[in-house]
A and B are shown apart, each in its own frame.
Chain A
């Protein structure tokens, strides 16, 4: 943070944070309103759906649904239900799940941690794999390594996560017996889902890293660094890496958001407990508080990631900017 404030200036950081904070509040109100509207518009009787979530999908009868309707006051007009939720949100009370009776905050916190663990691990793996391949390819454009990287990029991008995951399971779990095929919490259970996500992403990272490194290496300041007599290794570390990162970081930010939202399929495939799981169940069961909170968390996550990208950008490229762009 010391580096950040000295090079980027506290005023600009404050401006970034204030802008993003107001954005977060706006997003929160909009998203929860939209969620509520969507659930109201979905077909099917809400009371029956909640009862099915509680007691089992083919054990629900009219009495159970009537019990749920009475308990939750689902007969109230929709606007009253929305207002009471917004009021609770204002006092930072997210309520309890209509199905499991657990506090929404702990429920969503649990699934969010699962998703962040998975997305974080996937992102780090993807950056390591992608940047290594990309930089290797950029050092000799047109070489065999460069062409192999192209092939890699095409291959992992063309494979849908579902298929890639199954291939990894068959190879690493069934044949080599290295990792568990599915589950959550057991040793090594995170590796396969994280790898599935990471391999898909690594192709894009390799591509962007390669182009950024090639462009930076041809720039004048890098040529000057070479003329200064620095070794190729030092040039890469001191002058190329940071400049290429200024291009790569916003890109990683965009992918991180896509990743968090895209883990749904992978979570289902590997029985990983994350936000995707929570979201699917909440929609299915019409568990409105959990649905609103999950969507809210996803939306705020987008804002948070963008804020981090802005701050990282300020640190990587502290040159003053024109206009209102933060």
Chain B
């Protein structure tokens, strides 16, 4: 049982006081004992691969068959090479020889097939959506037989839910009871939901990590994380908010590292709505948004104002020469006037006696979203659009998408949930709609372009098709981009070699070393 439980004996007040100064004394002086102290906002509530949000693959405890490098290109993980046959309906993956799990058992094709068969029955994994008929263990690897051509399978196998765990990791019901992976770090101690300690795995096949121990602690409040970063209470602190960033930048002995994430804050639009169905209204709404001012005021970085849907971090998809989305309130008013909207008595536009009134749903889990929502409300008000903001639970968005009552939703969409953005982009623009993508919108040219990309064309043709996708999205605005996203971490000066992976496939802590 990895989960350590405090005994009820510890309940007594006397014991509490007696224990308090000395409890977990082993961690009292982590810094000198070669333990890297990592702090982040993520809580780990379960060891199920789909429910870990990538925590154990980022911490390099577990590995996937295929992984992605810092540029997002596919790279060998537990599979050394892979190839397809039968026009993409059969895929074979060769396993790296001589890999052992943390419990000392060897990685066999059967073990890998067992792990993947377990996860493909979980609806929450993208592997569940792959048209897999059978996964067979071969002499030296795995063979996937598919019912149809599926070229993005290697990319899907970079997703954290496809991590390969030892057979001993699973209990009788097929649930993960222990995290037994193959990575450079093995689990020392887990106290769900907020604390994980790992130690270097001596039988790791690659270069031995320089850092022997890593302790991870969840601290949910961003201001507390900033204090810990500035006060040398942690070596690596993930996700600081603007105020905390300033605090860290002003502190000595700690540096801020950041990278653009393939994530866009955008307005999800119900394109079948009587008002929002009009392209002119969507364009006017987009022109009304003063994105630079919002990015500067809320995200404290004007460069994050989105000029198109797909951020520059998706180098293959971002189109630098596409005409940028710009703020022009006068043009927005003209556009609405041409579409028949006239100012009513209270300044709100009207058409056939109906005011131009829309509701916008957003959620507080990303703290900048409600603030941005009110900024959008103010921008829209200036051109005569009345927006009512409803800050609620994030699940209201898929719920209202399903029952068609959604009008506008402000969301943060990650475009590289698996290393190839095509998988997420295809879902985002699916003709039948997508919970976190388009709503009642489809365009034959868009569908054709995405189908073309999924068929695996030549690189030149693929570049053309990606340009088509970006251009249609920019012209039709089924999703109105607002801002791009930067993620950051505070890293102590005592730590060398920290790199930030935009796709967050891994935190690359096995490559970090103490500064001499």
Contacts and interface: CB of A to CB of B under 8 A. Distances in A.
Interface in B177-208: 191-195
Nearest to B412: A58
Interface residues of B, number: 69
Contact of B219 (A45, A49, A123, A183): A183
B398 A48 contact: yes
Interface in A183-205: 183-188, 190-191, 194
A271 B221 contact: yes
Contacts of A164: none
A65 to B, nearest CB: 7
Given A60-B398, A64-B124, A110-B6, A270 B224 contact: yes
Contacts of B194: 184-185, 271, 273
A190 B20 contact: yes
A220 interface: no
Given A99-B45, A110-B5, A64 B123 contact: yes
A216 B413 CA distance: 67
Given A102-B192, A121-B16, A65 B398 contact: yes
Given A51-B124, A106-B5, A182 B193 contact: no
A62 B45 CA distance: 22
A173 B228 CA distance: 9
Interface stretch (B21-29, B336-344, B452-460): B21-29
A97 B17 CA distance: 31
A116 B194 CA distance: 18
Interface string A14-55: 000000000000000000000000000000110011011111
A98 B389 CA distance: 31
Interface centre among B7, B16, B363, B434, by most chain A C-beta atoms within 10 angstroms, is B16
Nearest to B223: A166
B223 to A, nearest CB: 8
A307 to B, nearest CB: 15
A113 B393 CA distance: 30
A323 to B, nearest CB: 33
B172 interface: no
B16 A60 contact: no
A124 interface: yes
A118 B416 CA distance: 42
B13 interface: yes
A169 interface: yes
B425 to A, nearest CB: 16
Interface stretch (B46-54, B106-114, B274-282, B293-301): B46-54
B412 A187 contact: no
B24 A182 contact: no
A219 interface: no
Contacts of A51: 124, 395
B20 A45 contact: no
B27 A187 contact: yes
Interface string B1-35: 00101111011110011001111110110000000
A248 B220 CA distance: 37
A100 interface: yes
A3 interface: no
B11 A117 contact: yes
B23 A66 contact: no
B396 A44 contact: yes
Given A48-B395, A66-B123, A121-B13, A54 B224 contact: no
B465 to A, nearest CB: 25
Nearest to B22: A187
B218 interface: yes
Contact of B435 (A60, A121, A123, A273): A60
Q: Which of B6, B48, B123, B232 has the most CB of A within 10 A?
A: B123
A113 B23 contact: no
A182 B219 contact: yes
A326 interface: no
Given A44-B396, A273-B194, A181 B21 contact: no
Given A55-B51, A270-B224, A63 B191 contact: no
A187 B224 contact: no
A88 interface: no
A120 B11 contact: yes
A143 to B, nearest CB: 31
Nearest to A49: B395
B231 A184 contact: no
A227 to B, nearest CB: 38
A225 interface: no
Nearest to B42: A56
A49 B398 CA distance: 11
B489 to A, nearest CB: 17
A106 to B, nearest CB: 6
A206 B350 CA distance: 64
Contacts of B414: 58
A57 interface: yes
Contact of A57 (B25, B46, B363): B363
Contacts of A67: 122-124
A62 B435 contact: yes
A262 to B, nearest CB: 17
A185 B218 contact: no
Contact of A269 (B16, B195, B221, B225): B221
B227 A187 contact: no
A93 B28 CA distance: 39
Interface string B51-92: 101000000000000000000000000000000000000000
A44 B224 contact: no
Contact of B399 (A44, A54, A284): A44
Nearest to B263: A58
B394 interface: yes
Nearest to B229: A181
A271 B20 contact: no
Contact of B395 (A44, A102, A120, A185): A44
A173 B224 CA distance: 11
A44 B395 CA distance: 8
B245 to A, nearest CB: 16
Nearest to A61: B435
A58 B436 CA distance: 8
A95 interface: no
A169 B233 CA distance: 12
A54 to B, nearest CB: 5
B25 A187 contact: yes
Interface in A171-187: 173-174, 177, 180-187
Interface string B218-247: 111101110110111100000000000000
B346 interface: no
A62 B227 contact: no
A67 B51 CA distance: 14
Interface string B356-399: 00000001011000000000000000000000000011111011
B271 interface: no
Contact of A60 (B5, B228, B392, B394): B394
A60 B17 contact: no
Top 6 nearest A-B pairs by Cβ distance?
Answer: A48-B395, A182-B224, A67-B123, A120-B13, A187-B28, A61-B435
12 contacts: A44-B396, A49-B393, A59-B417, A106-B5, A110-B5, A114-B6, A120-B12, A180-B233, A183-B39, A183-B217, A186-B27, A191-B20
Given A56-B53, A190-B23, 9 more contacts: A61-B398, A61-B436, A67-B124, A99-B45, A100-B193, A173-B231, A181-B228, A187-B28, A191-B21
